[in-house]
Amino acid sequence: MSEKTTQDKSELVKLQSAGELRKTMDGYFSRLREAAETGSRKIAWCTSVGPAELLYSMGFEVFFPENHGAMLGAGKNADKYIPTAVAHGYSPDICSYLTSDIGAFLQNETPLQKSGFKSVPTPDILVYNTNQCREVEDWFSFYGRHFKVPVVGIHTPLCITDLGPEIIKTVAEQYHRIIPELEKVAGVKFDIDRFRETVGLSHDGCVLWKEVLQKAKNIPAPINFFDSAIHMGPIVVMRGTQYANDYYKILLAELQERIEQHISAVPSERFRLYWEGMPLWYRLSNLAKLFAKLDTCIVASTYCNSWVFDDLDPADPFESSALAYSKLFIVRSDTVKENVLDQLMQEFSVNGIIYHESKTCARNSNNRFGLQNRLLKRNGIPYLEINGDLNDPRCYSEEQSIIAIETFIDQLSGQIK
Amino acid sequence: MYRLGIDLGSSFTKGVLVDENNRLADVFCVRSGYNFNNAAEKIIAHFTEKHEVAFPVYTCGYGREQIKVPFISNSELIALSKAVFEIYKRSCSIIDIGGQDTKFIQVNSQGQVEKFKMNRKCAAGTGSFLEEIAFRLDVTPAEFTKFAAEATGEVKINSFCTVFAISEIIGMIKNGASLPNIILGIYNSIILRSSELSLVEGYVVITGGLPAMHPTIVSLFKKKYPESDSPEHSQFLAAYGCVLLNTSK
């Protein structure tokens, strides 16, 4: 229940590290822009959980179209671009990162123009891993055809239950197989020591990122999902570089300080929730405020935890990359997903879980095959399903979702008393 | 002194007057229109004309915070559950069909919400679905009931989308289907749609504006769920629950 006179609790305390985050991200985009403008370095486009370490080790500047898609969504512009892609034959039911990104490209617009880019940086090669979905291959193929540059990829088996040596071997072999094409484009020979070093940096960055996320185990949590969805930028686009690692040391220190000073992400945390599925990029801030107003902190999420590749090992860079990128939540079977979710829900002491069923992202919508009911039966933690989409706001009914969220918190309130 | 509960819904704003013994003393309803405050003012004016009413008023629904008089807003699902439990005093499954939402709520033996589900972002199976079809067919709710009683069989409405459902109905008319049979099909498609929300267990209570205006829907639900009921003033229960929620505290 809320009274008209209630003090506005939706005022969130911003993380001080946000300034450093901006500098770190600005640095990344500056390096990309310089490469695009001067040709000083080759540019590879990579999927968000693709072989970034391999690309950085071979001297590429790496651009991530999914990050670009999220920028379009967060900028509330995706619905301006999606119709253009649809008019070019891309269904409105497929990934709205893809349709908004291709639509923006066809309209020759990008949020990067605000940072001095003329357009998105032209790729010399596009590299994907289908571990997250098959759509990335079609997405990259569009640009491959347009720019007449090579598109190479790793095809990871889907719905993995037992991640055994056969899968590791087949994925590791594919890493080896794309190297000659990368060498040809980069104009340098592959250097195993450089790769080991990059894998080592990526491992360390992932461990730091994991520590950041795990700080939210503290009650009250010093960071919530909405912060993490923004602060995950460096681990997505600079994984395997010192830049990401330097940033997460700063963020970690601030979170530790918050814990010591009893500063919480949500001023009066009463309920702790788990977020399953993609963020709604165009409503991130509204949802952050809504949950804060309801004294609710989203303390953990599948999405942010998906960039924890702590199995990476410089001693065995190929096999450990294959392991780390095939262990990813999204590529696992529902049996494994159920176990992972249950464990995280226990570890983070959550009272409830929200499943965001994203209209255009089946692989990131894990309430479609009854998992939500099996998990409820297993751990008794209530759930709420929200229908929306990662980027396409036309698939989301805000008023209806607010009523559902408020009711869910009231429901928890009745059970927790 | 009476207390006032107002459910500011997408189609109608429903007001209830509750006496000092928590009894429902009167009900009044207006179209919500585009200005929730205007709708609420009409409700308040109606009741204050004859009765002394205490403020704040207790609100729920889409426009729950869009009024200018002092209010305390509530979740409409929690409020509805409270009112239903007050009436039946038992665990039950509530199926509520409003103007824009279809809701399923499972209430436990303590009157707490155990589980709830709302329709996906689509108006099929809600009051708006029926309103649109009624408008296109130029048939009033009362005529809907009359026609449904004359049905000799049922035709199936398959489309999820309201607009496509209308095209489907036009096709059926073209192929000689009778209006009573089509209307029965429309009612049954609403019931089928609501049954997708969740497994319905135990005693069933049917509420909301659509069942209140279409008694045939209630009869069909009762046929599907023999252990069921639809209470009087069922579209006013969320407003009533708002007052009850703030009384028990």
Single residue among B174, B191, B208 that ends a domain in this structure: B191
Say whether B62 and A3 touch across the interface (CB within 8 A): no
Top-confidence residue, B119 or B249: B119
pLDDT of residue A200: 98
B242 shares a domain with B187: no
What are the C-alpha distances in Å from A391 to residues A71, A80, A142, A373, B123? 9, 11, 20, 27, 22
Predicted confidence band at A6 (pLDDT cuts at 50, 70, 90)?
very low
Per-residue pLDDT for A307 more than 70?
Answer: yes
* pLDDT (0 to 100) of residue A144: 98
**CA B179, B181, B182, B183 torsion-angle sign:** positive
Instruction: Count the domains in chain A.
Output: 1
Contact check, Cβ <8 Å, B75/A415:
no
Among A4, A388, A400, select the one facing B118 at the smallest CB separation.
Answer: A400
Neighbouring CB atoms inside 10 A of A215's CB total: 20
Task: Give the domain extent around A387.
Answer: 18-416
DSSP class of residue A355?
Answer: E
pLDDT tens for each residue of A343-376? 999 999 999 999 999 999 999 999 999 999 999 9
Confirm or reject contact between A399 and chain B (CB < 8 A): yes
Cβ–Cβ gap A2/B101 under 8 Å:
no
What pLDDT sits at residue B165?
83
Q: Taking residues A313-327, what's their average pLDDT?
A: 98
Contact A395 B121 (CB under 8 A): yes
| B216 belongs to a structural domain | no
Give A15 or A12, the one with higher predicted confidence: A15
Cis preceding linkage at B56, omega within 30: yes
What Rg, from alpha-carbon coordinates, does chain A have?
Answer: 21
Region A257-286 average pLDDT: 96
B47-68 residue pLDDT tens: 999 999 999 999 999 999 999 9
Q: Are A359 and A387 in contact (CB under 8 A)?
A: yes
Q: CA nearest A45: which of A15, A67, A13? A: A67
Which residues touch A347 (CB under 8 Å, ≥6 apart)?
Answer: A217, A300
For chain A, positions 3-42, list CB contacts with chain B under 8 A. 3-5
Determine the pLDDT at residue B154: 83
CB crowding A9-33: b at 16 or more within 10 Å, else e: ebebeebebeebbeebbeebbebbb
Asked whether the beta carbons of residue A385 and residue B70 sit closer than 8 angstroms, the reply is: no
Chain A nearest CA to B59, separation (Å): 10
Nearest residue on chain A to B249, alpha-carbon basis: A1
**CA A383 to each of CA A17, A353, A372, A373, B75: distance values in angstroms, whole numbers, following the listed order:** 32, 5, 7, 9, 17
Taking all residues of chain A, what is their mean pLDDT, rounded to a whole number? 95
> Within the 116-145 window of chain B, which residues sit less than 8 Å (CB to CB) from chain A?
116-118, 120-121
- From residue A95, give the alpha-carbon distance in Å to each of A62, A79, A250, A312, B5: 22, 13, 34, 28, 44
Helix axis angle, B179-195 relative to B127-137, nearest 10°?
Answer: 170
Q: Residues 6 or more apart from B182 whose CB is under 8 A from it?
A: B155, B157, B169, B172, B173
| Residues A385-411 pLDDT 10s | 999 999 999 999 998 899 999 999 999
Q: How far apart are the first and last CA of chain B?
A: 18
Q: Tokens 């294959």 label which residue? A: A322
Residue-level pLDDT at A416: 57
- Calculate how close chain A gets to B203, using CA atoms only, in Å: 20
Inter-chain residue contact A415 with B112, CB threshold 8 Å? yes
Do residue B121 and residue A400 have CB atoms under 8 angstroms apart?
Answer: yes
Compare all CA atoms of chain A with the CA of B113 and give the residue at the minimum distance. A411
Interface test with A, best of B112, B113, B248 (most A CBs within 10 A): B113
Candidates A387, A397, A410; nearest CB to B78 = A410
Across the interface, of B72, B100, B116, the residue whose CB is closest to A407 is: B116
Mark yes or no for CB contact A382/B56 under 8 Å. Answer: no
Q: For A143-147, B123-127, B238-242, which range has the lowest pLDDT when averaged over its residues?
A: B123-127
Distances (CA, A) of A282 to A59, A95, A241, B53: 34, 15, 29, 42
- What gap in Å lies between CA A367 and CA A349, rounded to an integer? 21
Q: Quick one: pLDDT band at residue B249, thresholds 50, 70, 90?
A: very low
Res A7: pLDDT: 42
* Count of CB pairs separated by less than 8 Å, A with B: 62
Share of chain A above pLDDT 90, in %: 94
Give me the residue from B71, B113, B246 closest to A411, CB to CB.
Answer: B113
Closest CA to B14 of B25, B30, B26: B30
State which residue of chain B sits closest to A370, comparing Cα positions. Answer: B198
Residue B106 DSSP class = E
* CB-based contact A385 B113, cutoff 8 Å: no
**pLDDT beyond 80 at A9:** no
Is the overall model pTM greater than 0.80, yes or no? yes
In this predicted structure, the answer to whether residue A415 has a pLDDT above a threshold of 90 is: no
Tell me the C-alpha distance between B5 and B3, whole Å. 7
Written as one letter, the residue type at A90 is Y
Mean pLDDT of A294-317: 97
CB contact at 8 A, A263 and A27: no
Q: Do B184 and B242 lie in a common domain? A: no
Contact A4 B115 (CB under 8 A): no
Q: Which of B72, B112, B113 is nearest residue A3 as measured by Cβ atoms? A: B72
pLDDT, residue B170, reads: 87
**pLDDT grade for A166, boundaries at 50, 70 and 90:** very high
What CATH number did the domain enclosing B173 receive?
A: 3.30.420.40
CB-based contacts of A162, cutoff 8 Å, min separation 6: none
Residues A83-109: what's their mean pLDDT? 97
pLDDT in tens, A37-67: 999 999 999 999 999 999 999 999 999 999 9
Q: Do A2 and B73 touch (CB under 8 A)?
A: yes
Range name among A19-28, B90-99, B114-123 with the lowest pLDDT average: B114-123
Structurally, chain B folds into a number of domains equal to: 2
Which residues span the domain enclosing B177?
Answer: 127-191
Residue A142 tokens, joined: 């569009």
Picking from A3, A396, A411, the nearest residue to B116 by CB comes out as A411
The answer to whether residue B158 sits within a structural domain is yes
CA angle B134/B135/B139 to nearest 5° reads 50
Determine contact: B109 vs chain A, CB below 8 A.
Answer: no
Q: Is the pLDDT of residue B76 over 50?
A: yes
What would the mean pLDDT of A268-285 be, rounded to a whole number? 97
B187 part of contact set with chain A, CB < 8 Å: no
Q: Is residue A11 part of a domain?
A: no
* Nearest Cβ partner for A387 among B115, B116, B121: B121
Pairing of strands B204-207, B228-229: parallel
Interchain CB contact of A404 with B (< 8 Å): yes
Nearest CA in chain A to B101: A400
Partner B contacted by A382 (CB < 8 A): yes
Residue B37 in contact with partner chain A when CB distance is under 8 A: no
Calculate what percentage of chain A has a pLDDT beyond 70: 97
B15 and B239 in contact (C-beta within 8 Å)?
A: yes
Residue of B121, B199, B248 to mutate for A, most A C-beta atoms under 10 A: B121
A382 and B115 within 8 Å at the Cβ level: the answer is yes
Categorize the per-residue pLDDT at B6 as very low, low, confident or very high, splitting at 50, 70 and 90.
very high
Q: Do A399 and B62 touch (CB under 8 A)?
A: yes
Residue A81 belongs to what H/E stretch?
helix A78-87
- More confidently predicted of B160 and A389: A389
Number of helical H runs and strand E runs in chain A: 17, 9
The ipTM (two decimal places) reads 0.85
- A5, pLDDT greater than 50: no
Task: Tell if the CB–CB gap between B72 and A1 is shorter than 8 Å.
Answer: yes
What integer pLDDT is reported at residue B248 of this predicted model? 57
pLDDT digits (tens, 9 = 90+) for B195-235: 888 889 899 999 999 999 999 999 999 999 999 999 999 99
pLDDT at A1: 55
